[in-house]
Amino acid sequence: MTRPRLFLLLGLVLALFNLHAVAAGYPLIVQISPTTSITAVASYLGGTVVDSIPEANEYLLQVPVVPVLQPLPLLGIGWMELNSGVTLPPLPHLMYLQVAPNAAADWYKTQPALVLIKAGKALAYSTGRGVVVADINSQVDYSHPALWGHLTSGYDFVTSKPSGATALNQSSASYLDQSSASYLDQSSASYLDQSSANYLDQSSASYLDGLNPAYSHGTLCAGIIAVVAPDAMIMPLRTFDDNGSSDLFMIAKAIRYAVKQGAQVINMSFGTITDSQAISSAVAYAQRENAALAASAGNHNTSNPQYPAAYSGVATTAATDIQDVKASFSNYGKPVYVDAPGVNIISAFPGNLYAVVNGTSFSAPTIAGTAALLRSQESTGVVSRVAAGAINIDVKNPNYANQLGYGRIDILKSVTSK
* Percent of the chain clearing pLDDT 90 (strictly above): 69
Phi then psi for residue 136, to 5 deg, are -85, 110
Q: Give yes or no: residues 19 and 122 share one domain.
A: no
Short-list 84, 76, 34, CA closest to 56: 34
User: What pLDDT is recorded for position 307?
Assistant: 93
Residue 220 predicted with pLDDT over 90: yes
Q: Is residue 106 situated within a structural domain?
A: yes
Least confident stretch, 73-77, 217-221, 334-338, 343-347: 73-77
Over range 117-122, report the average pLDDT.
98
Residue-level length of the chain? 418
Distance CA 404, CA 234 (A): 28
Residue 3 predicted with pLDDT over 60: no
Could you tell me the pLDDT band of residue 417, with boundaries at 50, 70 and 90?
Answer: confident
Q: Is residue 87 situated within a structural domain?
A: no
Please spell the DSSP secondary structure of 347-359, one letter per residue: EEETTTEEEEE-S
Least confident stretch, 300-304, 354-358, 410-414: 354-358
Tell me the pLDDT of the chain averaged across its residues.
Answer: 85
Q: What is the three-class DSSP state of 127? A: coil
Over range 336-360, report the average pLDDT.
93
Residue type at 130 in one-letter notation: G
Q: How many domains, the chain?
A: 2
- Beta-carbon count within 10 A of 106 CB: 18
Over range 37-52, report the average pLDDT.
94
User: What pLDDT is recorded for position 102?
Assistant: 87
Q: Give yes or no: residues 215 and 258 share one domain.
A: yes
Over range 117-143, report the average pLDDT.
97
Higher-scoring residue by pLDDT: 213, 399: 399
Phi then psi for residue 351, to 5 deg, are 90, 30
CA-to-CA dists, residue 105 to 65, 75, 186, 220, 278, angstroms: 53, 57, 21, 13, 39
Beta bridge partners of 236: 135
DSSP 8-class letter at 325: P
Number of helices (H) and strands (E) in the chain: give both, helices first: 10, 17
Q: Give yes or no: residues 212 and 71 share one domain.
A: no
Q: Give yes or no: residues 100 and 77 share one domain.
A: no
Distance CA 13, CA 110 (A): 61
* Percent of the chain clearing pLDDT 70 (strictly above): 80
DSSP 8-class letter at 69: -
Q: Is residue 88 situated within a structural domain?
A: no
Q: Give yes or no: residues 16 and 156 share one domain.
A: no
Distance CA 296, CA 363 (A): 7
User: What pLDDT is recorded for position 377?
Assistant: 97
Over range 246-257, report the average pLDDT.
96
User: What pLDDT is recorded for position 95?
Assistant: 66
Over range 203-213, report the average pLDDT.
60
Where among 82, 103, 136 does a domain terminate? 82
Phi then psi for residue 318, to 5 deg, are -85, 165
User: What pLDDT is recorded for position 262?
Assistant: 97
CATH classification at residue 57: 3.30.70
Contacts of residues 391-400 at CB distance under 8 Å and 24 or more positions apart, as own/partner, are 391/324, 393/320, 393/324, 393/325, 393/339, 396/323, 396/324, 396/325, 397/324, 397/325, 397/326, 400/326, 400/332
Q: Is residue 162 situated within a structural domain?
A: yes
Q: Give yes or no: residues 78 and 205 share one domain.
A: no
Maximum distance among all Cα pairs of the chain, rounded to whole angstroms: 81
Q: Give yes or no: residues 221 and 370 share one domain.
A: yes
Q: Give yes or no: residues 133 and 252 share one domain.
A: yes
Higher-scoring residue by pLDDT: 89, 352: 352
Least confident stretch, 38-42, 67-71, 224-228, 289-293: 67-71
Q: Is residue 189 situated within a structural domain?
A: yes
Distance CA 109, CA 99 (A): 14
Q: Is residue 273 situated within a structural domain?
A: yes
Where among 46, 62, 82 does a domain terminate? 82
Could you tell me the pLDDT band of residue 99, with boundaries at 50, 70 and 90?
Answer: confident
CATH classification at residue 337: 3.40.50.200
Least confident stretch, 12-21, 129-138, 195-204: 12-21
Could you tell me the pLDDT band of residue 310, with boundaries at 50, 70 and 90?
Answer: very high
Q: Give yes or no: residues 403 and 323 share one domain.
A: yes
Where among 62, 82, 102 does a domain terminate? 82
Q: Give yes or no: residues 223 and 169 share one domain.
A: yes
Residue 188 predicted with pLDDT over 70: no
73-89 pLDDT, tens digit each: 778 899 999 999 855 54
Provide the residue range defining the domain that includes 235: 94-415
Q: Is residue 125 situated within a structural domain?
A: yes
7-42 pLDDT, tens digit each: 333 343 433 443 333 335 899 999 999 999 999 999
Over range 338-342, report the average pLDDT.
97
Q: Is residue 89 situated within a structural domain?
A: no
User: What pLDDT is recorded for position 167?
Assistant: 82
Distance CA 272, CA 311 (A): 12
Region of 61 please: left (phi>0), alpha (psi -120 to 50) or beta: beta
Q: Are strands 132-137 and 233-238 parallel, antiparallel or unpaired?
A: parallel
* In contact, 283 and 186? CB cutoff 8 Å: no
User: What pLDDT is recorded for position 163?
Assistant: 87
Residue 229 predicted with pLDDT over 60: yes
* In contact, 246 and 278? CB cutoff 8 Å: no
Q: What is the three-class DSSP state of 200? A: strand
Q: Give yes or no: residues 328 and 355 share one domain.
A: yes
User: What pLDDT is recorded for position 164?
Assistant: 81
Short-list 106, 110, 133, CA closest to 120: 110
Distance CA 32, CA 134 (A): 28
Q: Give yes or no: residues 333 and 362 share one domain.
A: yes
